[in-house]
Amino acid sequence: MLRPEDVLPHREPFLLVDEVTELDPGQRARGRWHLTGDEAFFAGHFPGRPTLPGVLMVESLAQLGGIAVLSDQRFAGKLPLFGGIDKARFRRQVVPGETLDLEVTLGRLSARAGTGRGRASVDGQLACEAELLFVIVDS
């Protein structure tokens, strides 16, 4: 099975994808982020009512999209960076102990940039969706 750290340059504490469950390089990917409650951000967001920050949900989708891009041999030795986030919507609170199921489908993809659409859910309930824009640079 492909490990996210085999493809992404991200490392703890900022690797926000634990496993890749499905991959079609350059097209789409599915994965999971298991939230244990031990993550440092839960202590401050919010004390007494820990909640996964929405921006980290979007980042986890972007990292999964990065796996889909970097798994395509055309982009070996490259690095996808955020170019923008559009139509981000947060539909459900995500709390410690839950697993975030991630799915990203890539859209337009050129040598220098691309788009993707991501969805994150918990137990089939939509938690977050966003359109992602990225640029591709040399690593």
Name which CATH class applies to 4-138.
alpha beta
CA distance 24 to 41: 32
Residue 42's closest CA among 13, 18, 20?
13
Specify the pLDDT at position 98. 98
pLDDT tens digit at each of 139 positions of the chain: 789 999 999 999 999 999 999 999 999 999 999 999 999 999 999 999 999 999 999 999 999 999 999 999 999 899 999 999 999 999 999 999 999 999 999 999 999 999 999 999 999 999 999 999 999 999 8
Cis amide linkage into residue 13, ω under 30° from 0? yes
DSSP classification of residue 4: G
Query: Which pLDDT belongs to residue 104?
Result: 98
Edge to edge, what strands does the sheet with 113-122 contain? 19-24, 28-34, 99-109, 113-122, 125-138, 78-90
Q: Note the Cα 52 to chain centre separation in Å.
A: 14
User: What is d(CA 129, CA 120) in angstroms, rounded to the nearest whole number?
Assistant: 6
Chain-centre distance of CA 137, in angstroms?
A: 19
C-alpha 107: how far from chain center: 15
pTM: 0.97
Instruction: Calculate ∠ Cα 60-39-50, nearest 5°.
Output: 95
**pLDDT reported for residue 1:** 78
Q: What is the pLDDT of residue 56?
A: 98
User: Among this protein's residues, is 45 annotated catalytic?
Assistant: yes
In total, the chain counts a number of residues equal to: 139
Pick the catalytic residue from 10, 45, 78, 119: 45
